Each structure stands twice: as structure tokens, then as C-alpha cells.
């Protein structure tokens, strides 16, 4: 199981500041997690609407949970790697 501390340390070590977890199905804008200093946020905004949600504060355990919940091992590994975790198989 991946922990929030592992995610935080990996993001810092790999200098990962934004992780795209998906793209808007209409405008293809990136949607994902942004690291600002010690803090982590989820930015679900895109360019196809004038309505903008504020970025949502998250913690690194949220990301660890997201990774750990994946049932497809290939996708799980790719997702973990996006956050700087150097894993070949989970």
C-alpha cells in the first residue's frame, strides 16, 4: 500500500508540480492535482465554461487512496508513476 508520505516525498524528489489525472471531455483541458510548496490542491477547472470552481485543498493521503483503489494494475502503476513514484508493478 502506498502512503501519503511516499507520494509527498516522490513528488518533491521528482519535482512534480502538476499531475494530469484526466482531460475535459469537451475542451481537453488538463484536470488534476497541483503541488504548491507543501500544499496539494485538486484543480477541476477547464476552459469550456465561464464558471470556475476554486481549487480544492487535498492531502497526500487522498492521492495515496486514489492510487491504492485502482483495480487495473497497469493503470495503477501509470498513475503512481505520474506522481513520481518509481514503480514497475504494484
Please indicate, yes or no, if residue 89 is contained in any of the structural domains: no
Tens of pLDDT, residues 10-19: 999 999 999 9
C-alpha span between 9 and 7 (Å, rounded)? 6
Residue 66 covered by a domain: yes
Residue 85 lies in a domain: no
What's the pTM? 0.86
In a domain, 62, yes or no: yes
Q: Please give the residue range of the domain that contains residue 50.
A: 4-80
Domain-located, residue 87: no
Decide if pLDDT at 5 tops 70. yes
Within-domain flag for 75: yes
Domain count, the chain: 1
Amino acid at each position: 500500500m502506498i502512503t501519503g508520505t511516499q507520494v509527498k516525498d516522490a513528488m518533491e524528489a521528482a519535482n512534480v508540480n502538476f499531475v494530469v489525472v484526466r482531460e475535459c471531455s469537451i475542451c481537453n483541458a488538463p484536470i488534476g492535482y497541483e503541488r504548491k510548496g507543501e500544499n496539494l490542491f485538486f484543480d477541476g477547472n477547464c476552459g469550456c465554461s465561464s464558471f470556475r470552481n476554486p481549487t480544492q485543498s487535498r492531502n497526500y493521503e487522498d492521492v495515496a487512496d486514489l492510487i491504492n483503489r485502482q483495480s487495473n494494475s497497469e493503470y495503477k502503476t501509470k498513475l503512481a508513476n505520474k506522481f513520481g513514484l518509481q514503480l514497475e508493478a504494484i
